[in-house]
Every structure is written in C-alpha cells, then in structure tokens.
Amino acid sequence: MVNMHVKERFSDRLYEGSKDIWEQSHRHPFLAELKAGTLDPERFKYYLMQDYVYLIDYAKMFAFGSIKAGDLEMMGKFSALCDSTLNVEMGLHRQYAEKFGVTREQLESTEPSPTTVAYTKYLLDVAAQGTLAEVTAAVLPCMWSYREIGVLFTQDSAAMEHPLYGEWIRMYGSPEFSELTDWCIGVMDRLAEGLAEPELAKLERHFLIASKLEYMFWDMAYRQEEWPV
C-alpha cells in the first residue's frame, strides 16, 4: 500500500488539486469567447495592458529563482525564463499594443487593477520569504495553465488562424513554450523530493492560490475591472 504513492509525481498532485479551477477558467467567457473569436477587442486590450504589468513582476519571479538556484544550470535556466518573459512574451504584447494604438509608455505605465496587485504582490511575497520550491510552486500555474490553454486552442484551426487572437494562441501553444513549462514541472518534482508533508502542503497552497488568481485574472479582464474609489 505504501508503495502505491511512491511513483506519483508531486506535479500530478498539484494538477489534480487545481484541475477544477483550471477547467472553470477554460469555461470562463473571456477564454470561451477568445477561442470562438468573438471576444470584444476592448476586453482583450484591457487584458494585454494588465498582463504587461503583471509580466514585469512575473519576470522578477524568475530572477528570484535564479538568485535562489542551487547550481549554475538551474541559475541559467531561470535567467533564460526571465529573458524570454521580457523579450519574447512581452514582445508579443508590445506588438499587439501597437495594433491597438497603445504606446510603450502607456503600456508600461498601466495602473495595475486590484486583481493584478493581489496576484503580483502575492507572488513577490513568496519570492521574498520562500524557498526555491515555493517560488516554483507559485509560478507554475501561470506557465502550465497557459500551456494547457495554448495546446487546447491550437487544436481548433479556426481559433489558431484568427486574425487578432491567433498569434496569441500560437505563442502559448508553441513547442518552445511547452518545453519551458515541462522544465518547470520537472524542477518542481525534483525540489519536492524528500520534503515532509507540511512543506508539500505549503507548496500545494501556493499552487492553488496562484490557480485561483489565474481564474480571477481572466474574470478581471472580462469585467475590465477598475478601482471602486
């Protein structure tokens, strides 16, 4: 009986624990309409601008990963993730912004919404106080859930070829993005090896909270959330 659990990867446990939340994200009107190509571009523009400032802090999470890495290989990988966030992922946001007539200055000075603040400051708090395993657990839902969305949506050729949203879908559905995600999942499994249950439960909590914040981020964008006062 005891051995039954030995083979289970920690990442499987994380996935199982957050699957329902991820599925609710997939069904959320923001993503359902994005996939169908019917999403109001104004909602997407709002999302892009919030996501841009989100990604600045998200890139810092990888920089923290680099600082906390135990060896040079891991340090290099985290710094590559930081670089690809700043220069590949945010590069696409800059391209989209141009299409919407939003300048780089406007993009960078986007005022973070309440949900964006909650999400990014949660992440940075984990980075400031937590271990490398905690940093990895907190950023993993971001990459992994986007990979899942990207792969799912690229199976729909109309979605993938959509004039406005196709490029976004193709980036998150790309083999390059998938490879980075798999690397992160592998790191999570390695870092979780040998940890005691309370420590694993803490990692699972970060993963779950980040998954909920991912859902909230889609919802925030759909509502084009503003500060109430």
Ligand X SMILES: Cc1ncc(CO)c(N)n1
Q: Which stretches of the chain bind ligand X, using CB under 6 A?
A: 51, 54-55, 89, 142-143, 146, 214, 217
CB of 27 to ligand X, least distance (A): 17
Residue with smaller CB distance to ligand X, 100 or 146: 146
Three-class secondary structure assignment of 146-213: HHHHHHHHHCCHHHHCCCCCHHHHHHHCCHHHHHHHHHHHHHHHHHHCCCCHHHHHHHHHHHHHHHHH
Residues 6+ apart with CB under 8 A from 220: 50, 113, 114, 115, 116
Residue with smaller CB distance to ligand X, 108 or 199: 108
Residue with smaller CB distance to ligand X, 89 or 134: 89
Question: CB nearest ligand X: which residue?
Answer: 142
225 included as an active-site residue = no
| Largest interatomic CA distance in the chain | 61
E-state strands within the chain: none
User: Residues 89, 134, 204, 214: which is the catalytic one?
Assistant: 214
If you search the block for the tokens 């309409």, which residue do you land on? 33
CB of 145 to ligand X, least distance (A): 7
Catalytic residue annotation: 214
